[in-house]
Every structure is written in structure tokens, then in C-alpha cells.
Amino acid sequence: MSMPKLITYCSDSVQIQTAIQAGVSELILEHSYLSIRSLDLVDKAGVLDPRIKSEDDICYKKKIDLAPLIELAIYARSLKPDIQLSVCWDWMAYGFHFKFVDSILEDLSAAGLIRIRLCDIGLMFYIRKKMPSAHLILMHDTFHVNRESIQQFAKYAQGQVLSHLLCLDEIRDIVQAVQTDFEVLIHGNLFLHHSPTRYLSLAHEAGFVDEWPLNRIQLQDQDHPTRLLTAFENKHGFFILNDFQRCLWSYQKELLDLNLSGWIIDVRGYSLDYFKTVLEAYSRFSISQPKFEYGDYSLKPGFFKAARFDLRKKRVYQDYLSDHKIMGMVVESSPKKWMIVELEQPLHQSDVVQIVTPEDVVFSYQIPDVLAVSDREVASDHQLVKIFISKTVPPRSILALA
């Protein structure tokens, strides 16, 4: 059981210096054209989103200038020559993006930056073929949340950041089942929503937002007023983050037992002091120190402790619909007299069925007789039948095979 490497995002030289001094092993370098969650404000000259048809759009230009990114790499190596560097390239790529990809790969390769973090399957597929030497790491939002998909993706990428939606038990199963490098977000915001539609600027243009441009804002859902989500917009679209920091500090032992290759700290958008405090704390990670705190920040394990979704009350009626052979459904009834049933399966006199009402009442019933609804001659072969019954059976009740 060894301590995994600490990994964090850096977009300027101060962050790089802080991270290296704190003992971080891998820096994920950001360039605002490649890293979609970089915190640039929207500037219409230089948008990368093809959904906005601007003549100034970078997509009409020939090459993306990676010099700022390469300067960050040079600076990091000057401070610590053996520091591991990777590049965040988490586009949701469109066809037009690919005219930039070859030149980006050339520039990255020339700068020795071949460790690439991405989430677009097409980009992964293309780089895998174009630059076999690239070390690809799939990010947390690549739709890989089970061992089968992770196994398949491992054929294309050397590493995977596990989804924020996975809980400890699921991660344990996956790590045991698949041989590849795994990383987990141990500290930072959860990424909830990404859209190419820039809702904030559109709302401003439509008169629903008073100011523009806006930095990160807080978003209050009328239906969940106590949760203030963080939202922002940049050249790649619109993003929503959760209202607390995932913090797995109290799961040190469990995390170490997982034998992951990397722990990710992602506090982009927060103060340098917070960045430094978090990194220093985790680099001196100690089981004897039970708690991590920072001001009044809300720190929770996110979905790591238990990702228990869809635990609504079990409905007998729904279970019958799902799991039982349905003979028919009641379309009309007269209380304590009769019911008219739309049949899905043949029903005969003396058959025993389970009748299940929408209110989850269940009882057995032996069919006394199966009668026509009307004396008229039926022209259609779809079967409606009338059955006498002395109980009240509301419409939408089902007759299931006993």
C-alpha cells in the first residue's frame, strides 16, 4: 500500500510554484482553448464554440497558439525537472475541432507533453491512431461507470479518472476487476452540468440578467432554495458546479486500500490560499489527523460514501407491471358488480389471477366467466371482456398471472 501521487490543475506560474512546493507529483496544465473549465470570461473574439456563428470565432483561424501552455511546462520543469506534466484537453469535440488537432499534437509532442487528459471518445480514438505514443487518460465524464465499459475503454487509454458518481464499494469492485491506472477526485467541486448553449449571456441579451460580463455566479433553484450552485460561462459553453467541496479527508484508509494511481485535487476558481492549504494538507496526509477544515467551507464526501439513487418507495403495482405476466388491465368498473378488462393474454373461466390496484391492494380472484361487453357484433379483434366481481376494482388495476 503506497501513497498515490497527488495531482492538481494549474493555469499560471504562481499555482505551479505553489503546487510544486506543496509536494504535488503531477500538474495538469491548462490552456483556455483546450481546457473547457478554464475560468476565462466570455470574449466574443475568440470563442471556440461552433454553435455561435461569429466571424471572429477561432474556428475560422488556422492554428491555436499553445505558447502559454508550453511556457507553463518549461517553468514547471525549471522548478522541478522530474515533475510529471499532463495537459487537460476535455473538449466535447465537433467536426471542425479536428482541423486543429494535428497541429496541437505536433506542438504538444515537441514540448514533451504527451500525457493527455480527455473526455471526448472521438478525440481519444483519433489521437490513439495519430500519435500512438500518447499517454491518454480518460476524464471522469466519459460515460464509464461500470467494469465492462471501463475494461473496454482500457484498450484505448492508459488511465481513467473514475466518475464522481461512483461510491467506494463500486470503485473497489472496479479496481479489482480491471487492470489499469485509476484516479479519483479527492477534493474539489463536483461537475454537474455542461451545455454548449451559453445560458447566462443569452439571458442577459433577453433582459433576464442585469449585468454582463459576469464572473462565477451563484445559482438558486426555486425548488431547492438552500443550495446555491456555482455557474459560469466561457468560450466552451455553460457550466454548473455543486454547492460544496467534495472532501475525502476522512476516508484516508479506504482510499489507501484502493491502491489508486492518483488522487486529484481540483479547486479551480478558489483562492490561492485555499489551493495552498488543501495541497499542503493532503501532501502531509495523516490518518492521525481526523478532520480537514477551511473557514466556513462546506466539505462533504459527495457521492463517495454512498451513491444511492432512485430509492423511492417500492410500489407493488409497479413491481407487478415490471415482473409479472399481465393478463389485462381494467378500463372501466362498476363498484362491487363488474369490471371491463382490456386483455393482453387469453383469459378463461376458472383462471385464477392476482388483481393489483393502483393503490397497491392485491388479492387473488378466480374468474367466474368471461363475457362480451356488448351484444353488438364486434368488428375488431382487440378484446374487451366483462367480468363480474363483488369487490370494487378501480380502473387501471391489473390482472396478473397468479
Binding to another protein (CB under 8 A) within 61-100 occurs at 92-95, 97-98
- C-alpha grid cell for residue 312? 423511492
Please state the closest distance from residue 82 (CB atom) to another protein, in A: 34
Interacting residue with another protein among 86, 180, 234, 242 (CB under 8 A): 242
Please choose, from the candidates 101, 98, 112, 17, the residue with its C-alpha nearest in 3D space to the C-alpha of residue 69: 112
Tell whether residue 286 is a contact of another protein (CB under 8 A).
Answer: no
Instruction: Give one word for 334, left, alpha or beta, with left for phi > 0 and alpha for psi -120 to 50.
Output: beta
How many C-alpha atoms does 201 have within 13 Å on its Cβ side?
20
Smallest gap from residue 53 Cβ to another protein (A): 8
Grid cell listed for 274: 485555499
Q: Which stretch binds another protein (CB under 8 A): 10-18, 22-30, 289-297, 342-350?
A: 342-350
Task: Tell me if residue 54 falls in helix, strand or coil.
Answer: coil
Preceding amide of 335 cis, omega within 30 = no
Q: Amino acid identity, residue 41?
A: L
In the three-class reduction of DSSP (H, G, I as helix; E, B as strand; rest coil), residue 3 is classed as coil
Nearest to 338 by CA among 390, 394, 384: 390
CB of 7 to another protein, least distance (A): 22
Size of the site for another protein (CB under 8 A): 103
- Report the residue from 55, 82, 296, 377 that binds another protein according to the rule CB under 8 A: 377
328: closest CA among 347, 348, 352, 344?
Answer: 344
Least distance from another protein to the Cβ atom of residue 350, Å: 21
CB atoms within 10 A of CB 364: 9
Which positions from 116 through 145 interact with another protein, judged by CB under 8 A? Answer: 120-126, 141, 143-145
Is residue 213 near another protein by the rule CB under 8 A?
A: no
CB-wise, 228 or 347, nearer to another protein? 228
Pair type for strands 181-188 and 159-161: parallel
Span of 5-13, 20-28, 71-79, 197-205 interacting with another protein by CB under 8 A: 197-205
Of 78, 103, 109, 218, the one binding another protein by CB under 8 A: 218
Count CB atoms within 10 A of the CB of residue 84.
16
| 93 versus 279: smaller Cβ distance to another protein | 93
The answer to whether residue 200 forms part of the interface with another protein (CB under 8 A) is yes
CB under 8 A: which stretch of 40-48, 57-65, 277-285, 338-346 binds another protein? 338-346
345 touching another protein, by CB under 8 A: yes
Please tell me whether residue 303 binds another protein under the rule CB under 8 A: yes
Which residue from 109, 197, 366, 390 is in contact with another protein, where contact means CB under 8 A?
197
Residue with Cβ nearer another protein (26 or 170) = 170
Distance from C-alpha of 116 to C-alpha of 157, rounded to nearest angstrom: 10
Of 18, 1, 23, which is closest to residue 283 (Cα–Cα)?
23
With binding defined as CB under 8 A, does residue 346 bind another protein?
no
* Residue 220 binding another protein, by CB under 8 A: yes
Candidate residues 81, 206, 290, 291; the one interacting with another protein per rule CB under 8 A:
206
* Cα 123 to Cα 227: distance, rounded to the nearest angstrom: 35
Asked if 202 is part of the footprint of another protein (rule: CB under 8 A), the reply reads yes
Q: What is the grid cell recorded at 370?
A: 368471461
Q: If you ran DSSP here, which 8-state letter would residue 227 be given?
A: -
Which residue among 254, 344, 351, 360 contacts another protein (CB under 8 A)? 344
